[in-house]
Structure 1
Amino acid sequence: MKTILINQQPIELYKLLKLEALVYGGGEAKMVIADGLVKLNGKTETQKRKKILANDVIEFDGESFLIELAPGIELTQLDKIEAERIKQLRKVESKPSASSTIKKAKRRPIQF
């Protein structure tokens, strides 16, 4: 697994692919993400602007990349708050929705 160092977090997924030269440009980055060719923490990710944090793992083109904060980079309090907010949102996203767990009632034909 290779390591990618970032100077700030969060960073958008398509920008990360572009800045690390894993693709030729931002347009290609958006296309490969939309086509489902990128995984984030083991799950296919199709959101181009998905926020990436330190300790996330990106899989693309048969390679895995661990995202780490560059040494000597101090996060501001706002960065820490934003990172925690994103982590909480990811927890909510990964839980099944109530509508997917409730079986829908069988519809009865209307009798006249």
Structure 2
Amino acid sequence: MQTFKLEGEYIQMIQLLKVMNWVEHGAMAQMVVTEGYVKYNGTVDYRKRLKVKVGDVVEFDGQQVKVV
């Protein structure tokens, strides 16, 4: 599992996917979220602008990241 050090209060789901280089661009990030390919704390979540905070775990395409 990878970790991502959060600099502010939160990061939006689609921004996190881009920062982790799991997607090539913002449109792809939005598509994988709305298609249900992303899990947030173990559950599929369809919110593109979801505020991911410290302690949350995001999963996509066999990869996991914990926000610290």
Percent pairwise identity:
37
Question: Any runs of at least 4 consecutive aligned residues in structure 1 with deviations exceeding 2 A, and if so which?
Answer: none
| Offset at residue 9 of structure 1 (A) | 2.0
- SS for the counterpart of 1:18 is helix
Letter in 2 for 1:27: A
Aligned residues: 68
Matches for 1:24-103 after TM superposition, within 5 Å? 24-68=24-68
Larger-Rg structure:
1
Q: Structure 2: how far apart are the matches of 1:7 and 1:32?
A: 25
What residue ranges of structure 2 are gaps of 5+ in the alignment?
A: none
Superimposed CA distance per residue, residues 61-83 of structure 1 (whole angstroms, 9 cap, x where no aligned partner): 10111111xxxxxxxxxxxxxxx
- Structure with greater strand share of residues: 2
More helix by share: 1
The TM-score with structure 2 as length reference comes to 0.93
CA distance in 1, matches of 2:35, 2:29: 10
With a CA cutoff of 8 Å and minimum separation of 6, indicate the structure with the bigger relative contact order.
2
What's 1:83 paired with?
none
Cα distance in 2, alignment partners of residues 37 and 30 from structure 1:
10
3-state DSSP of counterpart to 1:16: helix
What's the CA shift for 1:38? Answer: 0.3
Deviations 1:35-72 (A, max 9, x none): 0000000000100000000110001110111111xxxx
